[in-house]
Structure 1
């Protein structure tokens, strides 16, 4: 019996989305993948020396930030010791209290000032790169002597300029930016684990 497979043509909504993603992914692989891998190696050195990662984002970027911290506290692929990583939106009582008492722009900045130690890493995720609460968090991180990394959509944007290092995804839609942010998170985690296994402690 012959089985006929229905192939969706490329001019459908799904085809358009996948086409845009493939184009952006190729550019990401050529121009930004090395940044994610460098961040993973650097983070291996910081966390294995007792440092901490703080991560923050809004909406879908909050989910990506929590995905990253879960991979570090839990594991990515192979079993290994847990490392200190906090997603700043995950403490709902602190978040709602801060927004209620200090306003939304202080949501992450106040937590950064509470948890940061010199030499820790703060990674801020944003598709627009323009969220006021993330810009305030970047300023708080720099004031606390943290390393501040920005994972954003297309450059230029304010958040990319607010940190010490940046990975700006050149994709035309919010959805594609978020999809490539997840790729960056997984590349970071793979490089993190590889650096630990190799005893690597540098950039």
Structure 2
């Protein structure tokens, strides 16, 4: 079992090393960070969506902005779109699960906001619908996916596609990159004197 644990850790490290050596991917993370800083500075918000473990990661990252990361500071307007279970179950039941995010985005989003969709496959129907609507509304789309980007790829203003097809390794990188963005945004928006 010890060797299996070491092998899993090694696989996780190798994917992160691939991310580290991908200058284009690092540049995209930097651009997304700048867009998030600009959105918050302009009074816009950052919304997140995902399914399953990616929903948990979406909620986690939204909380880093709306709560705090390292610094005691004012909250930033950020939310994961799946947190209202009454809404989620009603819309899924009445309209279909593929519309749960786009319907809420229509009510909450405005031009200049960011919508961050986390999907390891890049093929989640509810995120695709939300990204399609985001394009119509002038909401900036950021996709966090696996290697190919899936069907989300052409709908993303910014695509952070982790070079792996292994769901747990992709999700580990999503949360790492999310933490990097949160830290850099917080440092810029709330500089220490």
Q: TM-score, normalised by structure 1?
A: 0.88
Contact 1:153/1:171 (8 A) holds in 2: yes
Q: Which has the higher helix share?
A: 2
How far apart, in 2, do the equivalents of 1:56 and 1:156 lie? 16
Which residue does the alignment assign to 2:37? Answer: 44
Q: Aligned-pair distance for 1:171?
A: 2.0
Q: Max radius of gyration: which structure?
A: 1
Q: 5+ unaligned residues in a row in structure 2: which ranges?
A: none
1:48-90 Cα deviation digits (max 9, x unpaired) = 2210111100000001100111000111101221111110010
1:177 paired residue number = 170
TM-score by length of 2: 0.93
The answer to whether the aligner puts 1:153 opposite 2:146 as a matched pair is yes
The answer on whether the counterparts of 2:162 and 2:170 sit within 8 Å (CA) in structure 1 is yes
Conserved? CA contact 2:47–2:80, under 8 Å: yes
Please tell me whether residue 23 in structure 1 is matched to residue 33 in structure 2.
Answer: no
Aligned to 1:105: 98
How much has 1:174 moved relative to structure 2?
Answer: 0.6
SS at match of 1:166: strand
Aligned to 2:186: 193
How many pairs were matched up? 190
Question: Are residues 1:133 and 2:126 paired?
Answer: yes
- How far did residue 195 of structure 1 move? 2.1
Q: Which moved more, 1:150-159 or 1:175-184?
A: 150-159
